[in-house]
Structures are given as structure tokens and as C-alpha cells.
Amino acid sequence: MKQKEILLNSLLKDEKITLSNLNEEEIGEQHISTGVETPLRADAFKLSEDEKMAKIEMHFKAIMETLGLDLNDDSLKGTPKRVAKMYVKEIFNGLDPANKPKVALFENKYKYNQMLVEKDITFYSNCEHHFVPIFGKAHVAYISNGQVIGLSKLNRIVQYFSKRPQVQERMTMQIAKELQKVLKTDDVAVIIDAKHLCVSSRGVQDHASGTVTSFYGGQFERETTRTELFKYIELK
């Protein structure tokens, strides 16, 4: 069974629904992720940034015109170009592996062997189902195996994976797996608490709800270690 079918059946097993029974709209409304890796075509980086922006500008202009907007208006005529630049250079620049943070490991000379927690990392992402914002805070923690990284790199890794069309569950896993890889340890935890505008501004239009996802690896699989983490980030 494919991974996406396993994930879906796990989410919807009580209702006996499978991926093949859902249409594209239903998959989006269920906020289903089909894998840990961001779905990218093989030729995703064939075009230069300038070429991508030119194409997006053209297509977004067509969208605005289809909606009936007058692009001769001073307020609107620059919007397609602004949106194209924003997509490529800013909110989706985490799609390009060239933008992945460069991480250097340092010897843990202080012999600090307790958990290190970087909490309340603010991030902004976008739902891949409706292309509207997801925003919130990420809390990351790890226990050194003898090496450490600069604190700001934890923030940068979160930002890198947030700057792409996302599903919160996938983003949580991507951050955690990357930290395990660069830190060379399984002892990593990631908790994300976020608001989804695809829930609050459209669809069910629930303004009060939030979504929490988590990953616990290595020592963080122990209840006592997680309890200590929750105390640090004031999560009950």
C-alpha cells in the first residue's frame, strides 16, 4: 500500500474511506498530506527565478482579468509583478534547495547533556490546498550527542520548510527529520501550534480553532522527557 493511502486510511479508518473514494476537493477539505516530501516535478528548477517570475506575472494577470479587475487602475497594475516576486523570492523560496540554511556543527565543549529548547519560533507558511496562510509558532528541542549548532540555525530551518506550500503535518516531519540529520541524533522534538486561514477565512469559517502537531524522537519518546519539555514551553 502506498504511503498516501496508509496516511489517509489511518485518518479516516472509522469511516471506511479510502483515497480512491475522495475527489480533489474532498482531499483538500480533509487537509490530507500524501507524503513527507514536498511534491515537486523533476524539472522544478529548470527555469531561472526571473523566468518563473515572468510566467507567474503573466498567469496572475490573467486571473485578475478573469475576475473582472481593471489592471489599468494605478493600484492594481503592478499587482501581478508584485505577486510573482513574492511567490518566488519570499513566501515560496523554501522550495529551492539552494536556499537551505548552511549548518555548521560545533563541539559541545560545555558538556551540556540536557535538552536544549528553542521555543516560540514564529513562522508563516501557506496551505497547499488553497494557497492561503498558515501561521503560528514552532517549538524545537534536542539533546546533544556531542555536537551543537548555533541557535539561529534552529529558527532558519523552521523558516526554510515553512516557506513553501505546506500541510502542517508534513512541515512538522520535515523540520524534525532535518534536525535529526544535521545534529546526528534521534533525540529531537518538534511541536507546531498554528492557525489556518483555509479554516478561518473560508469553508467552515471557524476563527477560534488552532492546530497542534508534534514529533518526538529518541529520548523524547519517554513520557518523563516530554513532560519536561512541556514545562519549558508551558504546554499542558
Q: What pLDDT sits at residue 207?
A: 67
Give ranges for CATH 3.30.1130.10 in the chain.
106-233
180 is catalytic: no
What is the percent of the chain with per-residue pLDDT over 70, rounded to a whole number? 81
Q: Does residue 30 register a pLDDT over 60?
A: no
166 is catalytic: no
Separation CA 209–CA 87 (nearest Å): 27
Q: What pLDDT sits at residue 209?
A: 78
Q: Does residue 76 register a pLDDT over 50?
A: yes
- Residue 151 phi, psi dihedral angles, 5° rounding: -60, -40
- pLDDT tens for each residue of 133-182: 999 999 999 999 999 999 999 999 999 999 999 999 999 999 999 999 99
Q: What pLDDT sits at residue 199?
A: 74
222: its cell numbers: 519517554
Find the catalytic residue in 31, 118, 127, 166.
Answer: 127
Separation CA 69–CA 62 (nearest Å): 10
Which architecture does CATH list for 106-233? 2-Layer Sandwich (3.30)
196 is catalytic: yes
Find the catalytic residue in 31, 57, 129, 178.
Answer: 129
Specify the DSSP element, H or E, that contains 55.
helix 49-66
Mean pLDDT of all residues in 54-83: 98
207 is catalytic: no
CATH number of 42-91: 1.10.286.10
Give ranges for CATH 1.10.286.10 in the chain.
42-91
24 is catalytic: no
